[in-house]
A and B are shown apart, each in its own frame.
Chain A
Amino acid sequence: SQKIEQNSEALNIQEGKTATLTCNYTNYSPAYLQWYRQDPGRGPVFLLLIRENEKEKRKERLKVTFDTTLKQSLFHITASQPADSATYLCALDISSDNDMRFGAGTRLTVKP
Chain B
Amino acid sequence: ETGVTQSPTHLIKTRGQQVTLRCSSQSGHNTVSWYQQALGQGPQFIFQYYREEENGRGNFPPRFSGLQFPNYSSELNVNALELDDSALYLCASSLPLAGGETQYFGPGTRLLVL
Interface membership of chain A positions 59-89, coded 1 if the CB is closer than 8 angstroms to chain B and 0 otherwise: 0000000000000000000000000000001
Task: For the complex formed, measure the closest distance between the CB of B43 and the CB atoms of chain A, giving whole angstroms.
Answer: 5
* Cross-chain contact A49 with B102 (CB below 8 angstroms): yes
* Cross-chain contact A46 with B45 (CB below 8 angstroms): no
Indicate whether A43 sits within 8 Å of B41 (C-beta atoms), given known contacts A32-B100, A49-B102, A98-B56. no
Give the distance in Å from the alpha carbon of A103 to the alpha carbon of B45 in the complex: 12
Q: Count the B residues whose beta carbon is within 8 Å of the partner chain — how many?
A: 29
Give the distance in Å from the alpha carbon of A81 to the alpha carbon of B33 in the complex: 32
Q: Count the A residues whose beta carbon is within 8 Å of the partner chain — how many?
A: 26
B107: Cβ under 8 A from any A Cβ: yes
Task: For the complex formed, measure the closest distance between the CB of A8 and the CB atoms of chain B, giving whole angstroms.
Answer: 13
- B residues lining the A interface (CB < 8 Å): 2, 4, 33, 35, 40-45, 48, 50, 55-58, 90, 92, 99-108, 110
Task: For the complex formed, measure the closest distance between the CB of A101 and the CB atoms of chain B, giving whole angstroms.
Answer: 7
Give the distance in Å from the alpha carbon of A9 to the alpha carbon of B62 in the complex: 32
Task: For the complex formed, measure the closest distance between the CB of B65 and the CB atoms of chain A, giving whole angstroms.
Answer: 16
Indicate whether A43 sits within 8 Å of B48 (C-beta atoms), given known contacts A102-B42, A102-B43, A104-B42. no
Give the distance in Å from the alpha carbon of A103 to the alpha carbon of B92 in the complex: 17
Indicate whether A102 sits within 8 Å of B44 (C-beta atoms), given known contacts A43-B2, A44-B105, A45-B105. yes
